[in-house]
Amino acid sequence: MAISAEVNAEVREAARTLWDYLRLDQSPQHCDCIIAMGSHDLRVAEHAALLYLEGWAPLLVCSGGLGRLTRDIWHEAEAEKFAEIAVKAGVPPQRILVENRSANTGENILFSKELLIRQGFLINRAFLVHKPYMERRALATALRLWPEIEYCVSSPRISFEDYPNADIPLHQMIEIMVGDFQRILEYPALGYQIPQETPATALRAYEKLVGFGYTAQTLSG
């Protein structure tokens, strides 16, 4: 479902600016494992399964319990839903590890690390898979909380215009991006992620969207 023409053009332009900043658009690299970071977007699981099937890593970790976007809509852990999707896509069940306790991005990293170590896997490079507008924050979090290894990051190959759908409408997508950008600004001081350069264009877009009231997913909202 493409973005509606009814959306204010100024909002649409600001949202696209945040989208472009929050994505990293990295080329895939061969890794020791794929970590599919749980969310309310099941397309993340589909993309992680595709990366496995394309041969980018020999192991898939599905990480996620119930977080701020899923605790009120699902009863099954994000990781368990992701694993089911991966198996249906053709990933062998014995190549999937399920981490179903984490409730936020930091716990996705820490609990996946603990699980991999406990299972005896030696990881030098991990492939992080998340929503398009979570690429930057996922990587910044991993580099803070598990800095000993290397990373690449990827997300479903979906354009800004085509990302909203019946489950994730445009207004919610913008609210989440605003919340994620705020966390990029504030979380380094709390020790949750490494600092990120924030260009003035992205900061202005964020402030504009806050002014329009897209604050439901901000820390104060």
- Domains of the chain in sequence order: 9-22+159-211 (no CATH), 33-154 (3.40.50.620)
pLDDT at 193 over 70: yes
123-to-61, 113, 216 alpha-carbon distances in Å: 12, 9, 37
How do residues 16-60 score in pLDDT, each as one tens digit?
999 999 999 999 999 999 999 998 899 999 999 999 999 999 999
Which pLDDT does position 7 carry in this prediction? 63
- For CA atoms 211, 163, 86, 32, the dihedral sign is negative
> If pLDDT is split at 50, 70 and 90, which confidence band does 1 have?
very low
| DSSP state for residue 32 in the 8-state scheme | S
113-to-73, 129, 173, 181, 206 alpha-carbon distances in Å: 27, 15, 29, 25, 32
Which pLDDT does position 70 carry in this prediction? 72
pTM listed for this prediction: 0.92
**Distance, CA of 205 to CA of 184 (rounded, Å):** 14
**Distance, CA of 146 to CA of 130 (rounded, Å):** 17
Query: Which residues are CB-contacts of 109 (< 8 A; sequence separation ≥ 6)?
Result: 35, 141, 142, 145, 146
56-to-32, 125, 153, 196 alpha-carbon distances in Å: 8, 11, 12, 27
**Distance, CA of 75 to CA of 152 (rounded, Å):** 31
How do residues 93-147 score in pLDDT, each as one tens digit?
999 999 999 999 999 999 999 999 999 999 999 999 999 999 999 999 999 999 9
